[in-house]
Chains A and B, each alone.
Chain A
Amino acid sequence: MSQLDLARLQFAMTSVYHFLFVPVTIGLSLLTALLQTGWHRTGRPELLRLTRFFGVLLVINIAVGVVTGLVQEFQFGMDWSAYSRTVGDVFGAPLAMEGLAAFFLESTFLGLWLFGWGRLPKRVHLATIWLVALGGMLSAAFIMAANSWMQHPVGYTVDQTTGNPQLNDVWKLFTNPVFLRAYLHVILASLVTGSVIMLAVSAWQLRKGSNRLAFHASARLSLVVLVPTLLLAMLVGSELGVTEGKYQPMKIAGAEAQWTTCQPCSFSVFQIGGGKADHTPTKIIEIPHLLSLLATNHWNGQVLGLDTVQAQYQQQFGPGGYVPNIFIQYWSMRVMAYLAVVVLLVGLWGLWLLWRKKLSTSRWFLRIAVWTAVLPFLMNTAGWLLTENGRQPWIVQGIQLTREGVSPSVTTATVATSIIVFFLLYAALAVVDFVLMSRYARRELEPPAVADAALTPTSY
């Protein structure tokens, strides 16, 4: 493998890993804030006990999320120095804003929330968890603005002397049509992730039969959040597909392994072939018009084929291959979408049981709900593979190729060593985190007396 391949592998590995923790942080902090708000309003003791219970899971998760985020920030400079040099004028700004406006808020108020139990007035303490949640959502906004700029660059001019993009309209970064949809999609996906985790933990506890009253309440909250946010996430996701189809036709055509331009286009539920050497894949199950509808919002919409766009790009940008890896595109899209349907069915089943007042007694549902916890992580990973692989070979669509962005001064051996270091470190962290999460997720709730007297501040 070349230095470029290794740098890409390192970025993919560390980003995918980091994003296992990010959506849990965002989703679970919002849900924990809701639980604490419920306690604040009603005074129901089980809501306080749940807040403290899920709060522990939240901070175990945040610990890994924060430290793996550091790697992301450093990596642009370490492995992608040419990229950083070229686009820092535009791309650096949202990163600096993220630190100033979001990270400080999230980290400082997390400390206040954790150690502030019983020390801060109740109302102020409630505000701190909301500020933690706000910090997480804000940080996602800035980083998604930066990422969306890589998908669809806006708000810049090209500097005459250096040839580098220069920021000239910061509002455009935050009104970028890709950003608006992608950001909403990420926040909704985070809520889905958080609520599936909460549902799974509650289901495990209900099956064990401990604290029925409390875990019935958290299961209910998670189901009520899960189903609407998942439906919205699917809707926004498909809107994002239409928008990206406009600016990154390769991404959408690649997700369908659609080599030739079609109109109207059918969607293949499952197909064999369709890779680089096989432009006429065998479609096993086809749904007429569905691809037109998904990609363009029209029944008879036209979808540009990979070969068509390739020819177009060669004229525009010169000779070279502009088609992303089709296998990753095609399957990441399907893994994400099909699993979303599975999660939706589980959610609807849960809501139905809730309505029939059978939620805490349906053993099959509880058993399946526990295992559903795995799915959001697969969906989130697939979603990022879809959007980032779909941008290739560009690092910034139309401005810089990925291979031009890599650090010229870094050797293959250096990157290889660094991958090994991070792989070992991350693997160890994954084991510890998983052991701690499952241990604390299976713990009994704090006895009411402890929780009431309250509010002993957390300590390390």
Chain B
Amino acid sequence: MAFATFWFIVTTVLWTGFFVLEGFDLGVGMLHAVVARDEAGRRAAINTIGPLWDGNEVWLIVAAAAMFAAFPPWYATTFSGFYAVMVLLLAGLIVRGVSFEFRNKVDSVRWRRTWDTLLTVGSLLVPLLVGFTLGGLLHGVPIDQQHEYTGNVGDLFSGYAVFAGITLVLLCLLHGATFMTLKTTGTLERRSATLARRIAPVTALAVLAFLPWTHATAGKGVLPSVVELIAVIAVIAAAWLVVGRSEGWAFFATTIAIATTIVSMFTDLYPRLMVSSTSHAFNLTVQNSASGDYALKVMTVIAAVFLPLVLLYQGWTYHVFRRRVSAEEFTGPRSD
């Protein structure tokens, strides 16, 4: 049982890691064509995340694999129940993933516009649909005694789940805009800062509405949790900091805001994994879905060895590519 709770925490950490890291590169993906008016600017925007996005995306893969290994029914019911959502999510991940590599491989304006559009749409779909799915876990979908999904596509929709998707899109947008402010120079930096200022109030309002809604949906009483309070403070702080010139602190605030929003969703979910709207007796919970202690023990050892190692070398990567990227680097003839 202790191991099962521990793996619920690990899964939460993995999803949080995904949104904190991939969150800003999804934001950059959505905004790259908005923030830059010319090709050099777009390339500069994309290259702020060039060496990083692929490693960031692995957090998603590992989060899903952790659900599979630690809570097989959670993985099975979520992915089969949200089938149509998963197809769209995969399509988004696929077009986004290849667009980085492909857009610069043919020197034609139409070619690049196509991949820019796909990058934008893909980057929008990912947080929208993952947010929608995580929201659905908490809000509840029809699940029977055997933990099988019994509804159709329409039954996946709830106001809360849709709003969860929108909130995460907004958080990624803000996170991405502050990241670009931090990582670019000149016009690009100024335009990113302006974008961040425009997005921030909307994001803050969305989060301020989303957190109580989450709390109420989970039925966790009247008093907000510490994490929820931190999320509220962080998102207000972010909105305030992007107005000033402290890009570093603004990015820190959006990081905390996106992390605590995800953690709030998971702590409000606990000890449930997936709520059944048919009957709460059919909920998937940490108790009734966890793998055996031996499997969890083995994976704990693996995670204890590799997760710190991953943080270490991903941290080093961020250090290696810490410099700002400027549009001037891309005005000359292309190297590839």
Contact = CB atoms under 8 A, between A and B. Distances in A.
A92 B70 contact: yes
Contact of A64 (B75, B98, B294): B98
A92 B51 contact: no
Given A73-B65, A425-B95, 8 more contacts: A90-B295, A101-B306, A107-B55, A111-B53, A112-B320, A120-B320, A409-B148, A458-B335
Interface stretch (A75-83, A226-234, A372-380): A75-83
Given A166-B294, A460-B43, A92 B54 contact: no
A429 interface: yes
B46 A99 contact: no
Interface in A86-104: 86-93, 95-101, 103-104
A450 to B, nearest CB: 8
Interface string A58-76: 0110111011111101101
B47 interface: yes
Contacts of A47: none
A97 B306 CA distance: 9
Contacts of A97: 299, 302
Given A74-B64, A81-B80, A96-B299, A63 B101 contact: yes
B47 A460 contact: yes
Contacts of B84: 414, 417
B102 interface: yes
A71 to B, nearest CB: 5
Contact of B336 (A56, A166, A408, A429): A56
A28 B150 CA distance: 46
A109 to B, nearest CB: 8
A103 to B, nearest CB: 5
14 contacts: A69-B61, A76-B68, A77-B68, A77-B80, A81-B77, A92-B68, A93-B295, A96-B302, A99-B66, A103-B62, A119-B320, A120-B320, A407-B80, A439-B106
A432 interface: yes
A433 to B, nearest CB: 8
A168 interface: yes
A60 B101 CA distance: 7
A70 B64 CA distance: 10
Contacts of A93: 69, 291, 295, 298-299
Interface in B59-116: 61-62, 64-66, 68-73, 75-81, 83-84, 86-87, 89-91, 93-95, 97-98, 100-106
Give the one of B61, B93, B294 with max A CB within 10 A: B61
Contacts of B330: 459
Contacts of A429: 94, 98
Contacts of B87: 78, 417-418, 421-422
A92 B291 contact: yes
Contacts of B98: 63-64, 67, 429, 432
Nearest to A131: B313
A460 B80 CA distance: 36
A59 B336 CA distance: 13
Contacts of B149: 409
A168 B299 CA distance: 12
Interface string A421-452: 11001000100100010011000000000100
Contacts of B307: 100
A418 B83 contact: yes
A252 interface: no
A114 interface: yes
Interface of A: 56, 59-60, 62-64, 66-71, 73-74, 76-79, 81-82, 84-93, 95-101, 103-105, 107-112, 114-116, 119-120, 159, 166-168, 170, 407-410, 414, 417-418, 421-422, 425, 429, 432, 436, 439-440, 450, 456, 458-460
Nearest to A92: B69
Which secondary structure dominates where chain A touches chain B?
Answer: helix
A64 B317 CA distance: 23
A85 B295 contact: no
A436 B51 contact: no
Given A97-B299, A409-B80, A418-B83, A70 B68 contact: no
B310 A74 contact: no
A73 B61 contact: yes
A84 B68 contact: yes
B295 A89 contact: yes
Nearest to A167: B295
A81 B76 contact: yes
Contacts of A78: 79-80, 83, 86-87
Nearest to A82: B76
A88 B72 contact: yes
Contacts of A101: 302, 306
B310 A104 contact: yes
Given A77-B79, A82-B76, A460-B100, A70 B94 contact: yes
Given A60-B101, A92-B65, A100-B302, A84 B58 contact: no
B52 interface: yes
Contact of A96 (B68, B90, B105, B314): B68
A70 B93 contact: yes
Interface residues of B, number: 72
Contacts of A60: 101-102, 105
B65 A98 contact: yes
Nearest to A90: B295
Q: Closest 10 A-B residue pairs measured CB to CB?
A: A88-B72, A77-B79, A92-B69, A99-B62, A111-B51, A108-B55, A63-B101, A115-B51, A81-B80, A81-B76
Given A108-B314, A168-B294, A74 B86 contact: yes
A171 to B, nearest CB: 10
Given A74-B86, A108-B313, A84 B76 contact: yes
Given A82-B76, A99-B61, A170 B298 contact: yes
A112 B65 CA distance: 25
Nearest to B335: A456
Contacts of A68: 94
B59 to A, nearest CB: 9
Contact of A74 (B58, B73, B90, B302): B90
A89 B64 CA distance: 14
A459 B336 CA distance: 8
Contacts of A89: 72, 291-292, 295
B247 interface: no
B295 A77 contact: no
B212 to A, nearest CB: 31
B213 interface: no
Contacts of B291: 88-89, 92-93, 166-167
B271 interface: no
B303 interface: yes
A409 B149 CA distance: 6
Contacts of A59: 101
B189 interface: no
B107 to A, nearest CB: 11
Contact of A103 (B58, B73, B79, B83): B58
B50 interface: yes
A432 B102 contact: yes
Given A111-B50, A432-B102, A436-B102, A81 B79 contact: yes
A95 B65 contact: yes
